[in-house]
Chains A and B, each alone.
Chain A
């Protein structure tokens, strides 16, 4: 293809580039205030961003077969531990590339934000930042589950040090909590990966020998798992990634980590590290284990509602500005879960879009909090008040980003969350009473959608209330000398604001990058639904001679057949 000017080992170069940048750091001699190191850090991350956007530009123009050819040409597979079937395998698709571009973009933003925020041990700081970038990009690009796990773990140590060295007063506790929670999740993740491995090696036969960890093999064979095994592996992955997402009740590490982390690290933590969990969930749980995902969808929807509403409620009562933003960040990640539970094209696309939008908006909000903190050295909402006149530029951006976060139309969060709501509302895969410890509860995706919408309302409440308390009213005298945003801060916030507006006006600019792959995943679900319905009705028919049941079951079977018809029709449409 003439458009493909990417080198053969483009992805490997991309992964190696930050490491090279990091290795060059010890040879630099910092000058007064380490200005040159900051310059190097920002420059290196811009280079990385430009290099990574090559793939973005190329894939944005292609469609269909051409795009698949490109993805195939980017894939690299080399045996690494032949005895165990572990490969060095990297590859890309729309989902991976979207997450990757978000990573490199936010790295640039974080590096610029570091100029004002990071004063000590700058060389080590950028070294950790670059290693972190490699690890996160590796997670998004790995095409071997073992390699995926390696990168997933590799992220731990730099992030730990970033919080533990450059963090706030309680950083020791927060950083350790972060590590232990993540490692706890990794245990389940590893159990899930090994479970898949053993299953595939025992049933796959000679054909898959030595490649059990590769994603395509997993995708092809995971569907043959026994239902209980699939459920167990799904749960292992779900808990493992749920810690990172973070999902209630495993979310308590996040507010602590955010409060203690310096501003740029908070931006990265909210912007991309949480996406590792969401990405892994999408990939392993919903793409490779659809049957279990289908079975557990009601529970996932319930968890999503709890995630959205509960953490929004917790955010409402926070006294610490950064904690409030952190909880709002957790609350918004609940929409990813809701979109996944919807199991249709709109829901999945919405979930991925929310990942991206959340990356931009929450990073911007943390940046806003950071600008206030560097000036006032307090994050308590009660200490502020009436700052709107003193620091109008910060006020402007804070207001803008809060509006984006609470879902003002034509801004990015509105677009993404609307997609999720739309998908969830139209999702019709479960609509029945579910047994709940002896009780029979009515549970439907529409109910979940309505309840989640409550989260948006609470979201508006806590954000507006926070804005009122911080920027309006009487200003304490001590803030008389407060300076407004510096040039680098304005640069970061303005760039993010531009994206928030741009993608809010024209969401297709971003969605067309991942739409094809993500919709492909969604196409599996109507078929599973139809099959399950058939099985259920068949089981009922076998069961009872009683006339009422018979009537019921015949009605059911008709509806099952209807569903199948519609599925076939859909298939036809898509193939046309």
Chain B
């Protein structure tokens, strides 16, 4: 296998850069490099003023994301014929996770099963967003090209977040995602709401980042000046032998948690979410609520799991884990109750996102391999069901220019498939069986309830919350299926332009199949997420024992 890698990347290693990189490093980051190449080429393309050239960028971006997806899968599934070990999966003879080339660039980045899984779904999510955003952006902006490039930039940031194993790397990745998102949110320059969204996002995001950085600086000090996750743990262990100050450790934890909660839009740090989701162009809202959220969750999972849920931080912070439970309950209740009264589909989905984040936080409350892996599984299903709902919303806005819920009345009579897809995705979000959303909720709540009798109340409240959530989801379904058609729907044409509708249809099909298949047979992905999360823990202890 090494010969193969050498023959592909040998020239880089032999070049003057060779002292910084190894061939394996390059191989493991191929998807990211592919995105970089597409971004660079695309930027040249967007220099042209001609709209046709701008439109070419869409094709380039889709191709780039697709290639990145393909390379990600193929690289990590390749099995070395010599020893039968693939990069990711267990070695069949020893049943140990393969550690081939996991650390990349001096352990700044980890290409383990967890990051590869998350990166796969990030790329898939971006691909879906790109598929259904084309018509929306091209009819609203004179320079659609940059939109796609910025989206790829944001995806790159999210992908790096998924594997970041160092505070500095984490911060750089976070900012790559953040800055791209600020611009994306304000992409419709003519619309005041979009500009407002962008500015709000920038101000709020900047503040949250500052809080997060302050937490990081405390951690840096506590660990004796370390930035790598494993080094921090060791540093904390050394510092603990001479006694760690509880107040400082908790301050650090709360600062970091505040920053994270903001990024994940958990209540009470959620204020920005509805305004920005409403103001931003709908595809961007979809991107923010799925891809960006998944990247942020991956970052938080790795950080909490590798750094803070290991001794000595874990012993000190154990009593503070209840904060996750409180945030979870506030988020889900507030999100669901606020969503009841919303009149636009984007705001409703924004509040529903807050509620879903609340459910997911229950997994952090328990902080075990099972619960974290059910968070990961939930995020996977969320990619399909939420992006599906957004795809329908984008398609509806494309055809009617409206995004208020009342306009959806009677949709089934004009566009039965669109209404059917939306019904399915909303039922999945509500957690009705035979959809992915049901199993995601079930696994999550089950692991939380299994953690101890003290947690059963959280589960009961979460279940009652999902009853509340059904009210607003089913309200949309009722309007679409039951109510008499609204004027907007009556004005819709039955005819479908095949060429423009094809990408959206493709995206809808992928989302539908994903939601359905995960609802009928979730076992493989469930096992994958469990392997990924347990490997996060295993490789780490291995690394620690090696270094000792």
> In the complex, how many angstroms separate the beta carbon of B14 from the nearest chain A beta carbon?
47
Tell me the count of chain A residues lying within 8 A, CB to CB, of chain B: 29
Q: Is B460's CB under 8 angstroms from A157's CB?
A: no
Tell whether, in the assembled complex, residue B470 and residue A161 are in contact, meaning their CB atoms are under 8 Å apart.
no
A sample of 21 inter-chain contacts (CB < 8 A) reads A80-B523, A81-B523, A83-B527, A84-B443, A150-B433, A153-B438, A160-B474, A164-B478, A165-B481, A165-B482, A172-B478, A172-B482, A179-B474, A180-B467, A180-B470, A184-B464, A190-B463, A191-B460, A194-B446, A194-B459, A198-B449
Query: With the chains together, A184 CA to B521 CA distance in Å?
Result: 26
The 6 lowest CB-CB distance pairs between A and B, nearest first, are A187-B463, A150-B433, A153-B433, A183-B467, A164-B482, A165-B482
CA–CA, A275 and B470, complex, Å: 24
Which residues of chain A are near B449, meaning CB under 8 Å?
Answer: 194, 198
Whether A179 touches B470, Cβ cut-off 8 Å, given contacts A81-B526, A161-B481, A194-B446, is yes
Which residue on chain B has the smallest CB distance to residue A190? Answer: B463
Cβ distance A312 to chain B, nearest Cβ, rounded Å:
30
Q: Which of A79-131 contact B (CB under 8 A)?
A: 80-84
Let me know if A154 is at the binding interface, CB within 8 A.
yes
B residues 439-454 touching A (CB-CB < 8 Å): 443, 445-446, 449-450
Interface presence of A314 (CB below 8 A): no
Contact indicator A82/B433 (Cβ below 8 Å): no
Hey, what's the 0/1 contact readout for B456-486 against A, CB within 8 Å counting as 1? 1001100110110011001000100110000
Contact pattern, B 511-548, Cβ under 8 Å of A = 1, otherwise 0: 00000000001110011001000000000000000000
Bound complex: CA of A445 vs CA of B467, how far in Å? 37
Supposing A82-B523, A180-B470, A184-B467 touch, asked if A154 and B433 sit within 8 A by C-beta, the answer is: yes
Quote the shortest CB–CB distance from B186 to chain A (angstroms): 39
> Does A567 reach chain B (CB closer than 8 Å)?
no
Interface pair B530/A154, CB less than 8 Å apart = no
Task: From A82, A154, A164, A165, give the contact of B434 (CB < 8 A).
Answer: A154
In the assembled complex, the CB of B70 is this many whole angstroms from the nearest CB of chain A, namely 29
For residue B525, give the distance in angstroms from its CB to the closest CB of chain A. 11
Q: How far is the CB of B107 from chain A (nearest CB, A)?
A: 32
Chain B residue at minimal CB-CB distance from A150: B433
Q: How far is the CB of A120 from chain B (nearest CB, A)?
A: 11
In the complex, whether B432 has a CB less than 8 A from a CB of chain A is yes
Kindly state the separation between the CA atoms of A82 and B522 in the bound complex, as whole angstroms.
Answer: 10
* Residues of chain A contacted by B460 (CB below 8 angstroms): 187, 191
Q: Are A83 and B467 in contact (CB under 8 A)?
A: no
Q: A80-B523, A176-B478 are in contact. List 17 more A-B contacts (CB 8 A).
A: A83-B523, A83-B530, A84-B443, A84-B446, A153-B432, A153-B438, A157-B427, A157-B432, A161-B482, A164-B478, A176-B471, A179-B474, A184-B464, A187-B467, A194-B446, A198-B449, A198-B450
A47 at the A/B interface (Cβ < 8 Å)? no
Residue count of chain B within 8 Å CB distance of chain A: 29
Which residues of chain A have C-beta atoms less than 8 A from B467's C-beta? 180, 183-184, 187
Q: How far is the CA of A172 from the CA of B456 in the complex (A)?
A: 34
A156 contacts B by Cβ under 8 Å? yes
Q: Which one of B427, B460, B478 has the highest number of Cβ atoms from chain A below 10 Å of its Cβ?
A: B478
Interface residues of A in 151-197 (CB under 8 A from B): 153-154, 156-157, 160-161, 164-165, 171-172, 175-176, 179-180, 183-184, 187, 190-191, 194, 197
Q: A residues 133-155 with Cβ under 8 Å of B?
A: 149-150, 153-154
For A156, give its contact among B432, B481, B526 (CB under 8 Å): B432
B470, A183: Cβ atoms closer than 8 Å: yes
Q: How many Å lie between the Cα of A187 and that of B463 in the bound state?
A: 6
Interface pair A187/B432, CB less than 8 Å apart: no
* A-facing residues in B399-437 (Cβ within 8 Å): 427, 432-434
A483 to B40, CA, bound (A): 80
Interface residues of B (CB under 8 A from A): 427, 432-434, 438, 443, 445-446, 449-450, 456, 459-460, 463-464, 466-467, 470-471, 474, 478, 481-482, 521-523, 526-527, 530
Residues of B contacting A: mostly:
helix
* Bound-complex Cα distance A198 to B446 (A): 9
Residue from A161, A180, A190 within 8 A of B471 (CB atoms): A180
B519 to chain A minimum Cβ distance, whole angstroms, is 10
Instruction: Say how far B318's CB is from chain A's closest CB, in angstroms.
Output: 23
Cα of A160 to Cα of B526 in the assembled complex, Å: 31
B474 A83 Cβ-Cβ under 8 A: no
A345 vs chain B, min Cβ distance (A) = 36
Neighbouring A residues of B446 by C-beta, 8 Å: 84, 194, 197
The distance in angstroms between the C-alpha atoms of A150 and B519, with both chains bound, is 11
On chain B, the residues within 8 Å of A157 by CB distance are 427, 432
Q: Which residues A428-479 have CB closer than 8 A to chain B? A: none
How distant is the Cα of A179 from the Cα of B464 in the complex, in angstroms? 13
- Tell me the A50-85 residues at the B interface (CB within 8 Å): 80-84
CB closest residue in chain A, given B470 = A183
| B522 nearest in chain A by CB position | A81
Minimum Cβ distance to chain B for residue A179 (Å): 6
Per-residue contact bits, chain A 16-48, to B (CB 8 Å; 1 contact, 0 not): 000000000000000000000000000000000
B339 to nearest A CB, angstroms?
Answer: 15
State the CA gap A161–B420 with chains docked (Å): 13
Residues in A whose Cβ lies below 8 Å from that of B450:
198
Q: Distance (Å) between the CB of A543 and the closest chain B CB? A: 31
How far is B450's CA from A187's CA once the two chains are assembled, in angstroms?
16
CA distance A124 to B521 in the complex (A): 27
Chain B residue numbers with a CB within 8 Å of A179 are: 470, 474
Taken together as a complex, chains A and B put the C-alpha atoms of A68 and B108 apart, in Å, by: 65
**Complex partner residue of A176 from B427, B464, B474, B521, CB under 8 angstroms:** B474
| Residues of chain A contacted by B526 (CB below 8 angstroms) | 81, 83-84
Q: How far is the CB of A148 from chain B (nearest CB, A)?
A: 11
Rounded to whole Å, the gap between the CB of B314 and the closest CB of chain A is 24
A157 to B426, CA, bound (A): 12
Question: CA A83 – CA B528 in complex, angstroms?
Answer: 11
Question: With a CB–CB cut-off of 8 A, which chain B residues contact A180?
Answer: 467, 470-471
Give A84 to B530 CA distance when docked, in angstroms.
Answer: 12
In the assembled complex, how far is the CB of residue A172 from the closest CB belonging to chain B, in whole angstroms? 7
Q: How distant is B520 from chain A, measured CB to nearest CB, in Å?
A: 9
Bound CA–CA A230/B546 (angstroms) = 49
Query: What distance in Å separates the Cβ of B473 from its nearest Cβ neighbour in chain A?
Result: 11
A565 to B166, CA, bound (A): 75
Asked, given contacts A83-B527, A179-B474, whether A150 binds B434 with beta carbons under 8 Å apart, the answer is: yes
CB distance from B423 to the nearest CB of A (A): 9
> Which residues of B lie under 8 Å from residue A165 when comparing CB positions?
481-482
- Residues from chain B with a CB closer than 8 A to the CB of A194 are 445-446, 449, 459
What residue in chain B is nearest A161 (Cβ atoms)? B481
- Minimum CB–CB distance from B397 to chain A (whole Å) comes to 26
Q: What per-residue 1/0 map shows which CB atoms of A189-209 lie under 8 Å from chain B? A: 011001001100000000000
For residue B486, give the distance in angstroms from its CB to the closest CB of chain A. Answer: 15
Contacts of B481 in A (CB 8 A): 161, 164-165
Residue of A nearest to B423 (CB): A157
Question: How far apart are B175's CB and chain A's nearest CB, in angstroms?
Answer: 38
Give chain A nearest CB distance to B90 CB in angstroms.
16
Contacts of A187 in B (CB 8 A): 460, 463-464, 467
> Once the chains are docked, how many angstroms separate the CA of A191 from the CA of B474?
23
- Shortest Cβ distance from A162 into chain B, in angstroms? 11
